[in-house]
Chains A and B, each alone.
Chain A
Amino acid sequence: MFAAREYRIQECENVRDLLRNTLRYAYSSDSSKSVYIECLARLRLIEDAFGILEDDEEDELQELSNQLSELSELIGRVERSRIEEFSWPFALALQNLAVKICADHKDPTSPPPLFFISADDELTSYRIITEQGKAGLISSPLFSIIFPRSLKNFVLLHPILGHELGHAAISAPQHTLLLEQNVLRPLVAKSPLNDLIRFKKWLDRVNSNLDLDLRTEASLSWPEELYCDLFGLLLMGPSYVGATNSLLRPFKTRSISESHPPSATRFWVIAHAVNQLGWREFYAKHKKLKQPANKYFDSLTNFANQVPRKFRLLNTSQIEIALNELQLFLQTVPSALFEAPDPELVATMVSRLLTTCPPVASEVSSKLTIRNRIVDFRSILFAGWLTWMSTDAKNPVPTFINLNRLCQRGILQQSAVDKWSAFKEKNNDVRP
């Protein structure tokens, strides 16, 4: 039999063995070495903490056991992370955005965030777990990006992770105050969410059966969720509309939970923001995009117009203020704010997709000169959605899964083009 302390020391040894075993495998991410070092550092911090605790500090000893167990789960996830289980071209593009948004560029002494990408079995597992706004026995904060395994190739649905990056951004210490003061508070100003008593009355008015203890929780969680929708929209562009529409609609749109506002409210807020951004008008002006652009944005607007007045929880002018502030914030991060691509480029990508070709390609001239064009992966996704909305008499629209695969190819192609361009620039190569 083990004494409590001896058993915990043994557990630390067991976790060290688990970690050692992970070295036997090859992993998808080039950050796996850093993740290994981080896990080792966490184990040492836990072991040290065991060393300073007395036997009668039961809560503390229990907490360390929980920390050890969480570390063991993390090691398990690292070990089971397989590149074949998620769309790695999309994941890497998203990671590039996340690094720009969440790394603390002003404070070089702050440890850089580490990224870890994996797939989970649950159909609803889209998630980014961030440790930046968390203190604990950690050395460098870790970002875990999690995709549902069953949706591996469905890159057109992945823009929903823009919402999760909103949570990551506001939890980064260098952004928390600014986003809180400039975006989150103005967003809910003049609404029931700004006043707990009014909010509780509103919950009664919509016949919510939310537990009394959870009502305060809802008042704290909902503003951040609504801000995250605006963040996802401005970050990922119009493809965020298609992704949220598809993934949230299957849930009851008026149900009240403590963690998220009703989908009806969220769609109404997103529709108002999309209207402000003027994307529909911009793309519907183009002859070839008029039909799909109208159909695409109509599906959101029509639904939002049916949202009962009592579910329109925010003040529209406040949504506009928050949207403007968030745009200003994203403009300070290089390439973070989605920039609407030229409609002609989008129309070309749609035409290619309708003939089941990847949306982007290198042009090779008769003299074998290669010409590449830089296309943002978010523009590819938007073109994918417009293709799905097309009713082209000549070319039948590819199946949704094939459309996703083609877009994924496009993202992969672009990432190769980006690497090639960076290489050429670095080596001052003037060859075409």
Chain B
Amino acid sequence: MLVSEDSRRSRPLVLYGILAKSALSQLNDSRKETDRSAYFQNLIRLIDLYRSDVLNRPAPKAVLDRRPSDPRSVLRERNDAEAVRTALIRAHKIVYPSMTKDEVVEHLKAAFLKISQQRIDELPVIEVMQLKKFLEELTTALKTP
């Protein structure tokens, strides 16, 4: 094998960081002509995972798959999932300190949905600024040490 098995495995922690950064870049550059609503649809899915508190749920194995897992990767995945949860809580507390978890989930989902439908004009400027701040905080918090 050319590189180690570990480095070939996708890391949601890093992937969500890229997602937040890409969405932020999309918001910052309104001249971009291409439709990248997928970023915001994916952020909605991430927020849903946060709402249901299932970020740390292990990905199920196939029903007949009995190959043992590697404890090191299991541990890393668990730590990564916890880091994603912590990053979301951190960004929530910094940008929307007065909102509860349910309120922030509903607020973000509604805003991301509008953006994904190219209806960003319907959002007040202050709200767009808050969204940018949220994505900035999330990107920073998801940076691997």
Interface of A toward B, CB cutoff 8 Å? 41, 44-45, 48-49, 52-53, 59-60, 62-64, 66-67, 69-70, 109-111, 124-127, 132-139, 146, 160-161, 163-164, 167, 173, 176-177, 180, 211, 213-214, 216-217, 220-221, 224-225, 228, 247-248, 251, 255, 257-260
Contact = CB atoms under 8 A, between A and B. Distances in A.
B15 A136 contact: yes
B132 interface: no
A177 B51 contact: yes
Contacts of B30: none
Contacts of B144: 59
B25 A160 contact: no
Nearest to A66: B10
Contacts of B98: none
B10 A135 contact: no
A214 B64 CA distance: 19
Interface stretch (B36-44, B89-97, B123-131): B36-44
Contacts of A163: 63
Given A48-B22, A63-B14, A66-B10, A109 B56 contact: no
Contact of A167 (B12, B39, B60, B113): B60
Nearest to B51: A177
B104 interface: no
Contacts of B113: 109
Contacts of A161: 63
B8 interface: yes
B31 interface: no
Given A41-B38, A259-B60, A60 B14 contact: yes
Interface string B1-36: 000000111111011111101100100000000101
Contacts of A52: 21-22, 25
B38 A213 contact: no
B69 A217 contact: yes
Given A62-B7, A133-B54, A136-B15, A247 B64 contact: yes
Contacts of B49: 133, 135, 173
6 contacts: A60-B18, A136-B12, A136-B15, A173-B45, A176-B52, A213-B75
Given A66-B8, A214-B74, A137 B60 contact: no
A182 to B, nearest CB: 13
Contacts of B11: 59, 63
Interface of B: 7-12, 14-19, 21-22, 25, 34, 36, 38-39, 41-43, 45-46, 48-49, 51-52, 54, 56-58, 60-66, 68-69, 71, 74-75, 78, 113, 116-117, 144
B52 A214 contact: no
A64 B56 contact: no
Contact of B62 (A48, A126, A138, A173): A126
Nearest to A130: B60
Contacts of A173: 45, 48-49, 52
Nearest to B84: A135
Contacts of A257: 66, 68
A139 B8 contact: no
Given A64-B18, A125-B62, 16 more contacts: A45-B22, A45-B36, A53-B21, A62-B14, A67-B15, A126-B64, A132-B45, A134-B45, A135-B42, A135-B45, A135-B46, A173-B45, A213-B71, A248-B64, A258-B68, A259-B58
